[in-house]
Structure 1
Amino acid sequence: MAKRKLSMLDSSFLQLEAAAMPMHIAGLSIFTIPEGKGQEFVGELVEKFRACKVFRNPWNYYLKRPSRFQFQPELKETFDVDMEYHVRHLALPRPGGERELGQIVARVHSQPLDFRRPLWEVHFIEGLENNRFAVYMKMHHCLVDGVSGMRLLVGSLSDRADDPMQLPFWAAGSDNKKITPPQNKKLQLPTVRDTVNFAKEISRVWLGRGEDLVTPRSAPKTVLNGRIYNQRRFATHVEELPRIKAIAEAAGCSLNDLVLALSGTVLREYLLSHDALPRESLTVSIPVSLHQPGDTELKNNIAQILASLGTNIADDKTRLEAISRSTQSAKDQLQKLPHSLRGVFGSLVMAPYFATVFSGLAGRVKPSFNIIVSNVPGPQKPLYLFGAKMEHFYPVSIPTHGSAMNLTCFSYDNKLHFGLTACRDSLPQMQRMAVALGEAVDRYEELFVGKTKPRLVSEAS
């Protein structure tokens, strides 16, 4: 049987697991039932998926020791998977709306994975209005990051509605032989110059030197940054991707910077409405993918950078400019380093945060950052699941002690999907943020483009 030892980064996500902080990431896909098919389509799909026991990496790997308390965890391969446990069939009271869907996803996302089994679950949810159904799929973060998870999704869907060769998710994955890195891959040691630059940039982070540089000491303590509990809230929003790109182009910034500006605007207004806005700007932790083009290995390969969200700035334009300067400073810092050292650099940037989590101080002391915001690019062509067109895909992520909310975006089929995941007790009325995202887009469009256009809105709580 094949085995796989988790890397240090993969292991850290396993070791962070706690009752109030399950470390799985997930995706919520919404599909339209194929023309000519009835409501029985979902049930038939569930039976088809449960009957398939052909597994690929990483669907049939489980922990050799079902515990987070281990230094170098090892995965083992199994072909005896309880499919009725891993493939669930749920239903909304018809006709189920986005809000009801969000509520059931929030409850399911609150439940941790069973470490004695392969670390994933798939939930089919029927009863959604307009002849649609949803698929909620979660997998432990020790197996994949956002980019790897996207590859799993795209690799299992088809660009043809009538694809006769399509298989369930676990049968359509990558080859098990690719689960370990190639043995002939040469280890490239950093040069003396690389090491000096690395030490210089780390000292800048720790000592806080440099204009627009955000450090782990920059974040103020807010209502977002206390201890969290095990129940979640989930809200969604969707925008036309060309519209967002047009605003970013008119503003002279990247799409990622505009997403951060929208996030900062929404958080500023939310905290103002609760009389909880600090004088200092909130800071954001941004995952940066280190996957190389053509890299098919399924694992975590990310670095983290820190930037300002400009929440201390009232003017929308000035806030966006401050965010762009801050993110550019952080990206320049990372890009000065060779690729082999960027992951280490990101880990050291996050070291104070990990230290507070492992010591039990996270949420009790000044945070290293206030929120995580990430943007995962996806395919821009329609995809199908056994003839059912995927209309939307929303990421569902991980709130943590010290950072009670996560905002992740996913672009698909010319739409930008926002998934807001938070601790239920920490952020009451969080669904207002989903509405506020659309209002913020209108404001930035009017500011930089000069007109507003009709937008797609989808909310769940």
Structure 2
Amino acid sequence: MPTPVDPTSTAFLVAENRNMPMHVGGLQLFTKPEGAGKNYISEMYEQMRSVDEIAPLFLKRPRRSLTTAGQYVWEEDDRFDIDHHVRHSALPHPGRVRELLDLCSRLHGTRLAHERPLWEAHVIEGLDDGRVALYTKIHHSLVDGVSAMRLMQSVLSSDPEKRGMGAPWAARPPATRAVQTQAEAQRNLADVPMKAMRTALGISAEAAGLPGALVRTLNRGVRNETSAVSLYAPRTIFNQTITGSRRFAAQNWPVERMRAIGKATGCTINDVVLAMCSGAVRSYLIELGELPDSTLVSMVPVGLNAKQAQVASAEGGNAIGVVMVKLGTDLSDPAARLRSIHESMLEGKRALSSMSPMQILAMSALGMAPAMLTPMLRMQGVIRPPFNLIISNVPGPRTAQYYNGAKLVGMYPLSIPIHGMALNITCTSYDGHMGFGLTGCRRTVPHLQRLLTHLDDELSNLEKAAGA
């Protein structure tokens, strides 16, 4: 029986158009298990498509008509075709990572068909080093980006000898509450931008009327004195109307290198990640002759421990919010940029720590509202953007994971550029490495892969500046 689509998920279905596909994706790289035969990848694909029962989430498709009074409802696809959703692809010669990223870019730029359940998975062979790639995408009306990644991880194991593990879309018994709680704790941090984005699409009088700390922070935001909300981001090439074509670039670096910089400078690993992104974006914009005089601003999800930050929370635990971080792109010295980012993060956290969880979400929504309303009202280039890009850092598994003996050796998220925000950087830590996934509009953000070189250079620059 059809069920109504909740308003927040409806917002993603309505906002979607040819130039703004509203799905999130993920790329995972595996090495074959020892003794794997020449048909291993074909067998892996067959195992993934030969599923006895599909989980309900993966059978849902949206529909609206006169009979639903124009409202979206979820209904089960009674003609579900697994071959449409699970596909086997091969890279052209020479099968480098470059060809893999090109394929993922094309796949990520194609809208999911609304007449079918809103997801796809591609088992990809042809890499010259023999690795297997899996690219998946799922509509944001169904799950957020990190939830999609956790769905993929739910079939992984730390045991390299374990076999018989099913596909992520196969029906399984419900997870235990302990597992669910752990997954929720990991998911919440990167879910903030989308929760805030959804709330920003319909800010209520309740949110707008919240008193006290929120109002004080808003007043400071108007005077450009806080990092909790931004009203002063400069216009950049990232903040304009985008096309539907995508470019995806990905690479990882050892977390230990970032930890050493943080230890030497009194900063967090997340500060170092932001500094890497700041320096890379600065160098990239200088190459294009597009670096503005004032600093770029990034929206960054953060977790606040309620006890440490003295957040007013009846349940304790973690409060989650977003901080508008001044990236210091107007500073030429890597050490100065890192200090600026560290101070900006501290200021934003201090502002959020004086608010309740409800106020934090309202502040996040108010910060997101201009980013969402500007493209909806077709005002790109007319008003200044509230921020220039989103940079998220999501913790992943700390130990090596396996899928039926195949070792997971790389994990990279693909996100959603929107009009007025053509670049999104999402990072995921896994097994001692930090994987950077950069998703951008192919036309608006030219030569996106150059940012990977700049990220590598900036990490070395930070090490030199910190003496790490």
Same fold, judged at TM 0.5 (above) = yes
Which of these residues, 232, 249, 254, is aligned with residue 268 of structure 2?
254
- 8 Å Cα contact 1:147-1:289 kept in structure 2: no
| Alignment correspondent of 2:40 | 41
Do residues 427 (structure 1) and 445 (structure 2) align?
Answer: yes
Q: Could you tell me which residue of structure 1 aligns to residue 203 of structure 2? A: none
Q: Deviations over 1:376-430 (max 9, x none)?
A: 1100111112221111001111111111111110111111000111111112222
Task: Report percent identity of matched pairs.
Answer: 36
Q: Deviations over 1:96-154 (max 9, x none)?
A: 11111111111111101112221111011101122111000111122222332332122
Equivalent in the alignment of 1:6: 6
Q: CA deviation at 1:303?
A: 4.5
The CA distance in 2 between the partners of 1:332 and 1:408, in whole Å, is 24
Query: Does the alignment pair 1:416 with 2:434?
Result: yes
Change (3 A) 1:79 1:334: farther
Alignment-derived partner of residue 103 in structure 2 = 104
CA–CA distance in structure 1, aligned partners of residues 230 and 259 of structure 2:
31
1:201 aligns with 2:217: yes
Query: Equivalents in 2 of 1:168, 1:363: separation in Å?
Result: 45
Contact 2:228 2:349 in 1 (8 A): no
Q: 1:366 aligns with which of 369, 379, 384?
A: 384
Residue 297 of structure 1 aligns with which residue? none
Q: Do the aligned partners of 2:229 and 2:323 also contact (CA within 8 Å) in 1?
A: no
Deviation at 1:252, TM superposition (A): 1.0
Among 331, 335, 344, the alignment partner of 1:313 is 331
The answer on 1:284 being equivalent to 2:292 is no
**Cα–Cα, structure 1 residues 173 and 439, in superposed 2: closer, same or farther, change >3 Å?**
farther
1:23-38 correspondence to structure 2 within 5 Å = 23-38=22-37
Cα distance 1:19–1:355, how it changes in 2: closer, same or farther (>3 A)?
A: same
Q: Secondary structure at the match of 1:411?
A: strand
Whole-angstrom CA distance in 2 between matches of 1:39 and 1:13: 42
**How is 1:330-341 mapped onto 2 (pairs within 5 angstroms)?**
330-341=348-359
Relative to structure 1, the CA distance from residue 336 to residue 194 in structure 2 (aligned partners, 3 Å threshold; closer, same or farther) is farther
TM-fit CA distance, 1:214:
6.4
Matched-pair contact (CA < 8 Å) for 1:161–1:388: yes
User: SS at the partner of 1:374?
Assistant: strand
Residue type of the partner of 2:446? P
* Aligned equivalent of 2:139: 140
Distance 1:177 1:7 in 2: 29
Query: Does structure 1 retain, via aligned residues, the 8 Å contact 2:56–2:171?
Result: no
Partner Cα separation in structure 2 for residue 390 and residue 291 of structure 1: 31
The DSSP-based 3-state class of the residue aligned with 1:417 is strand
Q: 2:417 aligns with which of 377, 399, 424?
A: 399
State the TM-score, normalizing by the size of structure 1. 0.85
Residues 337 and 4 of structure 1: CA distance in aligned 2, closer, same or farther (over 3 Å): farther
What are the equivalent positions in structure 2 for 1:1-400 lying under 5 Å apart?
1=1, 3=3, 5-6=5-6, 8=8, 10-56=9-55, 58-65=57-64, 73-78=72-77, 80-171=79-170, 175=174, 195-205=211-221, 207-208=222-223, 210=225, 212-213=226-227, 215-288=229-302, 303-362=321-380, 365-400=383-418
Distance of 1:262 and 1:135 partners within structure 2: 27
- Give distance in 1, aligned partners of 2:14 and 2:124: 31
Instruction: Say if 2:228 and 2:351, in contact at 8 Å, map to a contact too.
Output: no
How many residue pairs get matched? 427
User: Cα gap change, 1:72/1:379 in structure 2, threshold over 3 Å: closer, same or farther?
Assistant: farther
Task: Find the aligned partners of 1:445 and 1:173 in 2 and give their Cα distance.
Answer: 46
Q: 1:255 to 1:16 in 2, by over 3 A?
A: farther
| Partner residue in 1 for 2:186 | none
Shift of 1:224: 1.5
Distance 2:39 2:408 in 1: 18
Residues in 2 aligned to 1:399 and 1:414: alpha-carbon distance in whole angstroms: 28
- In structure 2, what is the Cα distance between the partners aligned to 1:336 and 1:153? 37
Which residue identity does 1:375 align to in structure 2? N
The Cα shift of 1:433 comes to 0.9
How big is the shift at 1:355? 1.1
Please state how far the C-alpha of 1:341 moved relative to its aligned partner.
3.4
Aligned alpha-carbon RMSD (Å): 3.0
- Structure 2 residue runs of 5 or longer lacking an equivalent are 181-205, 307-318
CA deviations on 1:183-225 (whole Å, 9 max, x unpaired) are: xxxxxxx9xx9743333333433x2353x53644211111111
- Structure-2 separation of matches of 1:19 and 1:435: 31
Shift of residue 80 of structure 1?
4.5
